[in-house]
Structure 1
Amino acid sequence: MPPRAGGPAIRGRGGGPSRGTSIPVGLTSGGHVTTVGVKRPSYGTGGRELNIFVNSFTTTIPEGVIHHYDVISPSEKTLPARLNMDIIKQLQLRIAPEIFTPRAVYDGRKNLFAIRELPFGEDHTQEFEVRLTEATEPSSRTAKSYKVRLTKVAEINPEVLQRFIRGEQSHDNAVLTAITALNVVIRMEPTMTYPFNVRSFFTSQETKDIGGGIQLWRGYFQSVRPGIGQMFINIDISTAMMYKSGSLISVCLEFMCGSNPQHPSMLYKQNLPERDILRLQRFVSGIRVLTEGQSGPAGRPPVPRVVKKLTRVSAKDDFFTTREGGRISVADYFRQALNRPLRFPDMICAEVGSGAKIPLELCTVPPGQIMKKQMPSDKTKDVLDFATKRPRDRLQSIQRGLGVLAYGQSEYVRQFGMRVDSTNPKHVRARVLQPPTLRYGPGSKQPTIVPNNGSWNMISKKFYKPTGPIKRWGMIVFETERRMDWDAINEVIAGLIKGCADVGIQMGSPSLVDYYNPQFNIQTNLTKFGTAIFQKALDRQPPQLLVAILPEGGNDIYTEVKFWGDVQKGVATQCMKSSKCRRAKPQYFANVILKINVKLGGINTVPDPSSVSALTDPHMPTIVMGADVIHPAPGAIGKPSFTSLVGNVDSDSAKYIAESRAQTSRQEMIADLYDMSKSILMNYGSYRHKVEKKAQGASMPKRIIFYRDGVSEGQFKQVLEQELPQLKRACQELQVDAKITVVVVGKRHHVRFFPQNERDADKSGNCPAGTVVDTEIAHPTEFDFYLQSHGGLLGTSRPAHYSVLYDENKFTPDALQSLSFALCHVYARSTRSVSIPAPVYYADIVCSRARNHFDPQEKWDFLSSDDAASSARGSAGLTDTLEKFQQAFKPLHSLQKVLMYFS
């Protein structure tokens, strides 16, 4: 993927151009093409053919040389991209239009590209002064000056892209920068007109008010992507949360009170506890506002000011010293300036970036402001409802977006000589792979089954390996007896016992059932409850399973239960919401039992050896690993990232165990992969020797398939340089002679598949499960493919993108594609194939569950940013915070380490 805005400029030797020279970049001599990942060995041929559309549109490559300039504002810190765009716009239109003809394109950060060389003389550099006028006080105008220095750093010959898509050129900095230049060209027009983030822009044509001071706007994503023999523009719809426009008071009230109308007096200082001020401050910090009395220069609108924080005193009680040396309250100052008193002098104020304090009643929120904060949890459903579109509707929306993008009318696209075929999405010949055969246990009416479009059912089937009899178990109820009476509880117990019997598990009556008040100490009550089961047991053994019934909104109770079971006591736990399990149908209990069986050591189903020989070859015992990293929420300072590694321990690649760690915030590479992989390998050897009775020398793997989730294309090299050596070192330490394959599984992309004919679509309108593409839109030189492995439910399915970085096993495309598809069918929690291989899906869950490794009684906060005091401690304070988190991260209980506690 080309670097995001602000990517490194290409420079000549020594970091910049020599005087009087221009630096041609790109054309490589010789025919040696290098790749970061594995070179594509061939194309897949398996499966039946299917004609589909892809949301990519072909584009030509400019013929002329593109001149690349580095943009520096020497006197300024990093400025917002929108302000930078405004500065360069004024520079080209007002300050030096004769130099910028035709106009150059700019990415809002460091890179400016021109289709002709700018007349800067022999030094190839020139400094300009741009004055932007903004209002800093009511009725006054001051001009702010910005110095901008442009320096030519490279000439890009677009021929490198022609060579690259033909497979004759390495994916080097010349190619990256050329792709960056084309992306800046196509994004220039919309970013000058609409609200935007890095690669999407948003219009007010389709909006939805979701309350809480937030609106949703429909937008369009666009990105230039290389294909095989062609360049494409990948276009998709996207969604942004926007601050609602209007008076800042109404936005604040809506955030605090939802749809219930409240009097503005709620924002009076005396009515706002400190925690509410902090909560409101987190919401409005960074919002741009216009203030009453503010005006811009002639012919231009006023420049909005950014809210930095909220005051802790009211406008009438907040005094400051004037330039003349007098003392005056904010309320009195504005009464004089506006020649009228404030309506709400008891209300708190907004402090803007310049330090000025503005009463909330004078602030208006202009439209089109992207809210770059974590989505409120109660808004998730609203966002999904707005963002979800069936494939046919999504493709139509994308094609409507082409009218908004208007490549043919863009002066920038035309001047750079790009011609975009916006009439038709790309037609691609895909293939639909044959699903694996799944095997169930003895006693099943149908011992094997072939999924149909990624789905199958458990009717008249027994688990492949049901867990042993569940004799010691209890049900602890954290719901009130009024909402969940004894009749309802007995129904749930009967449903569980019957569901277990249907799949081959013997489950006795519970040893203990009792109600507990969630307001009291939950862990103490759990221990008391578990001890009572232990004392009742004839064999004096701890409970095998604890089932907890939770009330609505019982997330905190869930965390307490998981910490007690997974970390403290090593007891399997299964939580159920009272609203879901009360009067539930047998299908609900069947889904719960899928989880319970693997938590207690059972195996639900395995792929039949005949359909996945690459996984089950007895001469090549294989371990499949999934690895992931998740990062703290936007704005959360000093919170750790969490890592996970999951791997199978059985010969059928169906039974998995997990390792998890806390590490440096936002560090993408897994720091402890050596220890984590060593632990997984040791457990694999132990299970195969002790449980599967393999000889000691034959119990270790001879093949490792390492699926890595969550890394961008720009980080592939780091995976090979930092993570692969740790995995190899773990193998060497344990004397494991295994051939390793490393595959990155990507979900954060915008490629979508659309069936050309309705008869080829499934019930949801999507392409069928198993649709794979490794031609045309794939990488020109590297081994990659797109695989949509799951049947559609809602909206448009997203295929996973597989990139093979390292392959000692020399897999053919057909072998790796069918193996990956098979692994999407062994996810224990459902009777549907999933979107990514099961070990990767598990790794994702284990990362999310990492918060359960902290004692919840210590009230850890992983979501919000630290307060100003802790933020002010700087990097040393952040190190202290990380160490605090790492020391508090409790390991799994030894009994849970060998079980699928995360299912």
Structure 2
Amino acid sequence: MASITEFVKRPDFGRVGHPIRLRTNYFEVIAFPSSNIYHYDIVIIPEVPPTLNRKIFQVAENSFPGIRAVFDGRRNVYTIRPFPFGDAQALDVTMPEDNAGGRTPRTFKIMIRRVAVINMEEINRFLNGRGSISSNILTGIMVLNILIHNKPSKEHIKVGRVFYTNQGSRSLSGGVEVWQGYFQSIRPTPRKLMINVDLHATAFYESDSLVQLVAKKLNKKSVDDLRGIHNRDRTKLEKCLKNLKIFDTHRGEVASRRRFRISKLTNTPASSTKFEVNGQQIDIATYFFNTYNKRLQYPFLPCIVIRRETYLPMEVCNVVEGQHYMRKLNERQTENMIKFTCQPPSSRANKISQCIEVLNYRLNEYMQQFGFRVSNEMAIIQARVLPTPTLHYHPASKEDTFIPKDGLWNLRNKKFATGATLGSWSCAVFGSERYYPMGAIQKFIRELITTCQDTGMNIPNKNPPIQHCNPQGGIETALRQVWVKAGNLAKSKPQLILCILPNTGVSLYAEIKRVGDTVIGVASQCVQGKHMFTVKKQYCANVCLKINVKLGGMNSFINPSQMPFITQRPTILMGASVTHPAPGAENMGRPSIAAVTASMDAKAYRYAASIRVQTGRQEVISDLAEMVKELLKTFYMTCGRKPERILFYRDGVSEGQFSIVLKDETKSIKEACRSLDEKYKPTITFVVVQKRHHTRFFPTNARDGDRTGNCSSGTVVDSTIVHPFEFDFYLQSHPNLQGTSRPMHYHVLLDENVFNADSLQTLTYNLCYNFARCTRAVSIVPPVYYAHLVCARARFHASGENWSDPDTPDTPEGAGVARYAAVKTELLKTMYFM
């Protein structure tokens, strides 16, 4: 019998750990249509945006009494009963124009044509594990998604799969506000369909007068402060306002208000921007006074230009409500956004339950006609909390072996399992001696050295050379000088440059990392200047964790008996991630960065990295074979053995790309092995790790949660809300600091190592205690976490980037791939990215 999936079937259900019950943000679909659904193609002429399409179709729908059709706003219409006209029909629809200032009502031509019948019965076979996924099933589930989105699409602002409402909106500053959104998506699960409902928030422009928006954008207290806008501000403003929808307010009655898009700003103020009327030049301010008897309050502001050189003074324009703000938020806006979205689990769960009232499934006439019913209660599911692994530090520690509690521990009474030696190093202080006096720096360095030694590092050189450097420029020259000083003093190759920074700005940090990683080839450790003056043991300890690992040390390790898969035979863990440039036309030609990190020892603690720059927004890693080959060679050079097993964790692949990524990337891994030796065929397990999903867990009993009200570290779910029959599970491995925790979703696509549910879940959870730069379990398995860090670091290796201001234009198009410098080969074999 042919397999029902090209991936891995669930081998069994996990049993390890103590059982608990959780609430989750899934609502059971009690009934959905089992009869066929009719699919029609619809063309509306002339072409208009989806929002207007929906209004046009709503008028057309009245021609077919008794039939409730659902429409995706573009080309597809679905009904549970066929339309009465056979296979095709053409209609004319006249829109009663709602914003017509004496404009003639518009007429649209609609062509409807039946294109397919969708067999809904097949979905049941799939949910019960009796049939594989097919395009008919995917279409059927897509239709049900369109059905649940159909009514809210008419009542709310929709962005992607999320509906937003401005009830309870809050200002983020700078003319931008945050709206609450509701996400909903139909998910196939064992034996039933469920709706995953979650909260989301996004930024919108404030629907204020345009003048107010401009004052807020430029951070002015009032409009009067806008006199004499500088050229730089004008350029910034034009970039922010381009394509913003506005309506005019100077023609009195609401009916005549027209909507426009801003195309640009004038270089001159309204009082001196002129155009021709009846052969005479007249400025905008005079024209408005003569024509509308309106004296401009702010004639010193530039005018906005809308199509065909039509000018409007800013003060007669209002911003249309509900426009999504697509630009990157600045620091203050981000801070306010986090305050709005960061909710404890109980209040998030309550809001999700209320959301069912907002979406109002029960009184939805479209759902009623399709025979679609949904439970009003959140699903309660079975979960388990996995046992915590045992950690080991150096035997000379007072507390060398222990089991962390609640996913947390600290360095008190502990020495690193392997302490590195720091002999050749120096300190670059970015700021003048006036701000950072020598005495304060030396005191901080003494405290840092003491902490490093207390935790088991060896520091023979306790007086590194210190140099004050200019943070504004010449950073490469300064770092080279500091590097030379370290080498000359210690008479050996420098291992580390300690950099003291004046602020948290990205540009200086990025330049230090670019120079250290790609020009000099030395590890760097940055420290915030403010921490120098109040030297805290805890802060120094956190810095030591990073320094020890960068120099080749090992902070701690998991009891080998709790990771048999890694310790029994030579095994390599790999983590892969691809980061893409931020969305937006200005990033055309900017590449994506792919990184793979791999473990280099029997304790899966030390990692090496490989990086490639590839075509922007491409998910499959194009040069994976070479990257894997590099890492396998490094493993062999480090351990003297070839790995017999590969466990490959792959980040950030959506379900639609599982097939292509599995096919291309496992082929690359096998090719890499073959290229080293024709007979070399290690067994491979390929697991996708997804963090961008909307599944959340809420303890039903306070006993089963942690102090933040989240589920405990080690909570695993592999039934009820997972795939109907493939091998996947949710794991919440980390203790949370604030807000509601997000579990990771692990989905096995290939498994030549024949894991069962317990062995893979336990190994994955235990590895989360092996992350080198903190004393807590992390949310995602370390090989992937490290690959993220390597990608993020590689972004700093581009020359000519502007890291300072989210509103400054990006580098020119097509400036492409060559701008990224390569990390020095020797550094790639160390954990320089920590």
Establish whether residue 509 from structure 1 lines up as the match of residue 455 from structure 2: no
Aligned counterparts, 1:359-398, within 5 A:
359-398=313-352
The Cα of 1:161 is off from its aligned counterpart by 2.0
Q: Which residue of 2 aligns with 1:279?
A: 236
TM-superposition CA deviations, 1:109-162 (whole Å, max 9, x none): 33322222223433x3545455574879xx663655554433322222322222
The Cα of 1:276 is off from its aligned counterpart by 2.0
Q: Which residue of 1 aligns with 2:816?
A: 885
Q: Which residue of 2 aligns with 1:776?
A: 720
- 1 CA distance for matches of 2:266 and 2:693? 42
Establish whether residue 633 from structure 1 lines up as the match of residue 598 from structure 2: no
Of the candidates 74, 81, 86, which is equivalent to residue 52 of structure 2? Answer: 86
The Cα of 1:370 is off from its aligned counterpart by 2.1
State the secondary structure of the residue aligned to 1:895.
Answer: helix
- 1 CA distance for matches of 2:92 and 2:532? 68
Letter in 2 for 1:183: N
TM-superposition CA deviations, 1:482-514 (whole Å, max 9, x none): 443334323311221111111111223132113
Letter in 2 for 1:716: F
Assess, with a 3 A threshold, how the Cα gap between structure 1 residues 779 and 466 changes in structure 2: closer, same or farther. Answer: same
Q: Which residue of 2 aligns with 1:193?
A: 155
Q: Which residue of 2 aligns with 1:454?
A: 407
Q: TM-score, length-normalised on structure 2?
A: 0.94
State the secondary structure of the residue aligned to 1:409.
Answer: coil
Letter in 1 for 2:37: I
Assess, with a 3 A threshold, how the Cα gap between structure 1 residues 66 and 325 changes in structure 2: closer, same or farther. Answer: farther
State the secondary structure of the residue aligned to 2:633.
Answer: helix
Q: TM-score, length-normalised on structure 1?
A: 0.87
The Cα of 1:840 is off from its aligned counterpart by 0.4
Assess, with a 3 A threshold, how the Cα gap between structure 1 residues 359 and 573 changes in structure 2: closer, same or farther. Answer: same
Q: Which residue of 1 aligns with 2:661?
A: 719
Assess, with a 3 A threshold, how the Cα gap between structure 1 residues 645 and 452 changes in structure 2: closer, same or farther. Answer: same
Aligned counterparts, 1:756-775, within 5 A:
756-775=700-719
Establish whether residue 99 from structure 1 lines up as the match of residue 52 from structure 2: no
- 2 CA distance for matches of 1:285 and 1:240? 20
User: Is 1:130–1:148's contact at 8 Å kept on the other side of the alignment?
Assistant: no
User: Is 1:615–1:622's contact at 8 Å kept on the other side of the alignment?
Assistant: yes
Assess, with a 3 A threshold, how the Cα gap between structure 1 residues 130 and 533 changes in structure 2: closer, same or farther. Answer: farther
User: Is 1:752–1:799's contact at 8 Å kept on the other side of the alignment?
Assistant: yes
Query: What is the number of residues matched between the two proteins?
Result: 828
Letter in 2 for 1:271: I
Letter in 2 for 1:832: R
- 1 CA distance for matches of 2:664 and 2:311? 49
State the secondary structure of the residue aligned to 2:218.
Answer: helix
The Cα of 1:359 is off from its aligned counterpart by 2.2
Establish whether residue 495 from structure 1 lines up as the match of residue 426 from structure 2: no
The Cα of 1:330 is off from its aligned counterpart by 4.6
Q: Which residue of 2 aligns with 1:419?
A: 373
Letter in 1 for 2:160: V
TM-superposition CA deviations, 1:244-303 (whole Å, max 9, x none): 12101111110111xx5133462x6x5231x322322332233221211469997xx956
Instruction: Give the percent of matched residue pairs that are identical in Structure 1 and Structure 2.
Output: 38
User: Is 2:504–2:528's contact at 8 Å kept on the other side of the alignment?
Assistant: no
Larger deviation, residues 454-463 vs 786-795: 454-463
Assess, with a 3 A threshold, how the Cα gap between structure 1 residues 104 and 896 changes in structure 2: closer, same or farther. Answer: same
Aligned counterparts, 1:549-588, within 5 A:
549-588=500-539
- 1 CA distance for matches of 2:757 and 2:396? 37
The Cα of 1:420 is off from its aligned counterpart by 1.0
Q: Which residue of 2 aligns with 1:795?
A: 739
Q: Which residue of 1 aligns with 2:18?
A: 48
Q: Which residue of 2 aligns with 1:121?
A: 86
The Cα of 1:612 is off from its aligned counterpart by 0.8
Establish whether residue 219 from structure 1 lines up as the match of residue 168 from structure 2: no
User: Is 1:754–1:766's contact at 8 Å kept on the other side of the alignment?
Assistant: yes
Larger deviation, residues 55-64 vs 790-799: 55-64
Letter in 2 for 1:899: T
- 2 CA distance for matches of 1:682 and 1:132? 71
Assess, with a 3 A threshold, how the Cα gap between structure 1 residues 862 and 173 changes in structure 2: closer, same or farther. Answer: farther
User: Is 1:195–1:370's contact at 8 Å kept on the other side of the alignment?
Assistant: no
State the secondary structure of the residue aligned to 1:547.
Answer: strand
Assess, with a 3 A threshold, how the Cα gap between structure 1 residues 97 and 653 changes in structure 2: closer, same or farther. Answer: same
- 2 CA distance for matches of 1:397 and 1:551? 42
The Cα of 1:457 is off from its aligned counterpart by 1.9
User: Is 1:53–1:428's contact at 8 Å kept on the other side of the alignment?
Assistant: yes
Kindly report the root-mean-square deviation, in angstroms, between the aligned alpha carbons of the 2 structures.
2.5
The Cα of 1:790 is off from its aligned counterpart by 0.6
TM-superposition CA deviations, 1:755-785 (whole Å, max 9, x none): 1011111111111111111101000021111
Letter in 2 for 1:399: S
Aligned counterparts, 1:231-630, within 5 A:
231-257=193-219, 260-264=220-224, 266=226, 270-273=228-231, 275-293=232-250, 304-319=259-274, 329-331=283-285, 334-352=288-306, 356-422=310-376, 424-468=377-421, 470-507=422-459, 508-537=461-490, 539=491, 541-617=492-568, 620-630=569-579
User: Is 1:512–1:533's contact at 8 Å kept on the other side of the alignment?
Assistant: yes
- 2 CA distance for matches of 1:772 and 1:235? 20
State the secondary structure of the residue aligned to 2:362.
Answer: helix
- 2 CA distance for matches of 1:466 and 1:318? 71
Letter in 2 for 1:288: K
- 2 CA distance for matches of 1:224 and 1:294? 47
- 1 CA distance for matches of 2:689 and 2:105? 50
The Cα of 1:602 is off from its aligned counterpart by 1.2
The Cα of 1:584 is off from its aligned counterpart by 3.0
Assess, with a 3 A threshold, how the Cα gap between structure 1 residues 671 and 437 changes in structure 2: closer, same or farther. Answer: same
Unaligned runs of 5+ in 2: none
User: Is 1:134–1:302's contact at 8 Å kept on the other side of the alignment?
Assistant: no
User: Is 1:213–1:244's contact at 8 Å kept on the other side of the alignment?
Assistant: yes
- 2 CA distance for matches of 1:321 and 1:100? 55
- 1 CA distance for matches of 2:307 and 2:531? 48
- 1 CA distance for matches of 2:257 and 2:124? 46
User: Is 1:318–1:329's contact at 8 Å kept on the other side of the alignment?
Assistant: yes
State the secondary structure of the residue aligned to 1:55.
Answer: strand
The Cα of 1:729 is off from its aligned counterpart by 1.0
- 2 CA distance for matches of 1:106 and 1:171? 24
Q: Which residue of 2 aligns with 1:14?
A: none
The Cα of 1:516 is off from its aligned counterpart by 1.9
- 1 CA distance for matches of 2:516 and 2:718? 45
Assess, with a 3 A threshold, how the Cα gap between structure 1 residues 380 and 358 changes in structure 2: closer, same or farther. Answer: same
Assess, with a 3 A threshold, how the Cα gap between structure 1 residues 265 and 684 changes in structure 2: closer, same or farther. Answer: same
Letter in 2 for 1:89: K
User: Is 1:703–1:809's contact at 8 Å kept on the other side of the alignment?
Assistant: yes
User: Is 1:647–1:658's contact at 8 Å kept on the other side of the alignment?
Assistant: yes
Establish whether residue 682 from structure 1 lines up as the match of residue 636 from structure 2: no
User: Is 1:649–1:688's contact at 8 Å kept on the other side of the alignment?
Assistant: yes
- 2 CA distance for matches of 1:312 and 1:132? 40
Q: Which residue of 2 aligns with 1:110?
A: 75
The Cα of 1:709 is off from its aligned counterpart by 0.7
The Cα of 1:331 is off from its aligned counterpart by 4.4
Assess, with a 3 A threshold, how the Cα gap between structure 1 residues 225 and 63 changes in structure 2: closer, same or farther. Answer: same
- 2 CA distance for matches of 1:357 and 1:73? 33
Unaligned runs of 5+ in 1: 1-30, 690-698, 871-877
State the secondary structure of the residue aligned to 1:820.
Answer: helix
User: Is 1:599–1:899's contact at 8 Å kept on the other side of the alignment?
Assistant: yes
Assess, with a 3 A threshold, how the Cα gap between structure 1 residues 802 and 534 changes in structure 2: closer, same or farther. Answer: same
